Amino acid sequence: MALKIIGDRVMIEVDEPETTEGGIHLPESAQEKPQQGTVVEVGEGRRLDNGALVPPDVKKGDKVIFAKYAGTEIADEGKEYLILDSSQIYAKLE
């Protein structure tokens, strides 16, 4: 799928944990909603009232933590993605 992310939005490939730390596989209904992923696309940024463009604080490839129920979920070729506003990203992992 060819998507161009617009505005102050970010597309994230969601990290889905498949097993618990003890190695037990949990059904999807019992898993917590993930809050971590990798940025795969970034919009151009937010426009201020004076017309200036403020780019997002993240870039393609950044590992991030985001709001638990943020954004819109989409799927492409078996992968789960999330499109959300850059303000819903809380931290970058280093």
Please report where in the chains the tokens 């969601």 appear, as a residue: 14
Q: Which CATH architecture best describes the domain 9-16+30-93? A: Roll (2.30)
Entry pTM: 0.77
Query: What would the pLDDT profile of 9-38 be if each residue is shown by its tens digit?
Result: 999 998 876 555 666 665 655 555 668 999
Query: What would the pLDDT profile of 32-55 be if each residue is shown by its tens digit?
Result: 566 899 999 999 999 999 999 999
> What Cα–Cα distance (Å) separates residue 51 from each residue in 13, 46, 47, 54?
31, 9, 6, 10
Give the pLDDT score at 18: 59
Give the pLDDT score at 17: 62
Q: Taking 70 as the threshold, does the pLDDT of residue 67 lie above it?
A: yes
Residue 8's CB is within 10 A of a number of other CB atoms, namely 19
